[in-house]
């Protein structure tokens, strides 16, 4: 089990959520055999394998087939539960896919070899993901495990990196700032625009240009708007226009203050890390 694989890794998937469903199809497309998929909910397992009927639904965590890698594509809290409940072959390579869960989650299980395969992307049902460009962040408790993970990862993506648990947590947190939080603000803009009877498409060119700009220079140096200009008249007009949404009015003030605070630091002009 400590030799580097010459053949495609044989995978068992644990989980049937968004990551598991996307990963299943990507693995099959990459020619990695998937020996089976287990989920606590048999209905979910059947839904996840509906597009891949050749993959059997596994019914018993105590009788998993031998495989090169067991991939736990599960919510963070479910990983320790499955580790406690499952019976893996001795020395099995078991990896999770979570950004914020340290490798040490495997430490209580000395009979398995732990690892991490964290795909840095947001997955939704029905949306196609270009796996070749998804950064895959790897970590493993031993060199052979890392080698097997590398081989698997390279079959999926051109962007494979080895990250420590601490780096992965920082990356996962940064991902919240650039994905979950901006999406929420886009949602507020969408709701406000709809409330004013204006079409969402009106803002699309602005949103695209904002993004293109932020990806081509350090975003703090691309900042514009009334907060940055300390344009008190416009800020007051906007706050007044938010009178019906007191929570968003408070958030508007906090974001404005944060923009002004950053502008008063060297960060606002720091192009060194571009």
Residues 68-97 that bind a copy of itself (CB under 8 A): 75-77
Only one residue has tokens 């940064």, namely 174
- Applying CB under 8 A, which part among 6-14, 31-39, 144-152, 215-223 lies near a copy of itself? 215-223
CB of 154 to a copy of itself, least distance (A): 17
Binding-site size for a copy of itself (CB under 8 A) equals: 95
Within 8 A by CB and 6+ apart from 261, the residues are none
CB of 73 to a copy of itself, least distance (A): 15
Which alpha helices (H) appear in the chain, and where do they start and end?
Answer: 18-29, 42-48, 78-85, 143-156, 165-175, 181-195, 204-216, 232-241, 246-263
Is 103 one of the binding residues for a copy of itself (CB under 8 A)? no
Is 111 one of the binding residues for a copy of itself (CB under 8 A)? no
**How, if at all, do strands 113-119 and 93-96 pair?**
parallel
- Among 10, 44, 121, 155, the residue binding a copy of itself under the rule CB under 8 A is 121
Closest CA to 130 of 119, 117, 143: 119
Binding mask 164-183 for a copy of itself (x = CB under 8 A): ---x-xxxxxxxxxxxxxxx
Nearer to a copy of itself, 53 or 205 (CB): 205
Nearer to a copy of itself, 4 or 186 (CB): 186
Distances, alpha carbon 87 to alpha carbons 42, 63, 197, 215, in Å: 19, 7, 57, 45
Cα–Cα dist 93/90, whole Å: 9
- Among 130, 243, 264, 271, the residue binding a copy of itself under the rule CB under 8 A is 130
Instruction: Give, as ranges, the residues between 3 and 42 that touch a copy of itself (CB under 8 A).
Output: none
């Amino acid at each position: 089990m400590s030799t580097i694989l010459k053949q495609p890794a044989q995978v068992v998937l644990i989980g049937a959520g968004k990551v598991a469903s996307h990963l299943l199809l990507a693995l099959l497309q990459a020619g990695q055999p998937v020996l089976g998929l287990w989920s606590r909910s048999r209905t979910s397992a059947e839904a996840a394998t509906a597009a891949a009927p050749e993959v059997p639904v596994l019914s018993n965590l105590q009788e998993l087939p031998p495989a090169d890698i067991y991939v736990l594509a599960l919510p963070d809290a479910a990983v320790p539960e499955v580790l406690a409940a499952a019976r893996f072959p001795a020395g099995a390579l078991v990896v999770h896919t979570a950004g914020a869960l340290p490798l040490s989650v495997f430490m209580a299980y000395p009979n398995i070899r732990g690892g991490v395969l964290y795909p840095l992307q947001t997955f939704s049902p029905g949306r196609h993901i270009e796996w070749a460009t998804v950064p895959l962040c790897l970590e493993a408790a031993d060199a052979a495990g890392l080698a097997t993970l590398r081989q698997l990862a390279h079959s999926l993506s051109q962007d494979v990196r080895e990250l420590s648990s601490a780096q992965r947590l920082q990356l996962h947190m940064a991902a919240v700032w650039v994905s979950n939080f901006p999406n929420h603000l886009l949602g507020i803009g969408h709701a406000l625009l709809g409330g004013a009877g204006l079409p969402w498409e009106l803002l699309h060119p602005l949103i695209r240009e904002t993004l293109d700009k932020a990806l081509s220079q350090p975003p703090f140096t691309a900042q514009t708007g009334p907060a940055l200009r300390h344009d008190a008249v416009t800020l007051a007009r906007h706050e007044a226009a938010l009178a019906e949404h007191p929570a968003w009015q408070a958030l508007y003030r906090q974001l404005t203050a944060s923009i002004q605070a950053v502008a008063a630091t060297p960060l606002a002009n720091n192009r060194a890390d571009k």
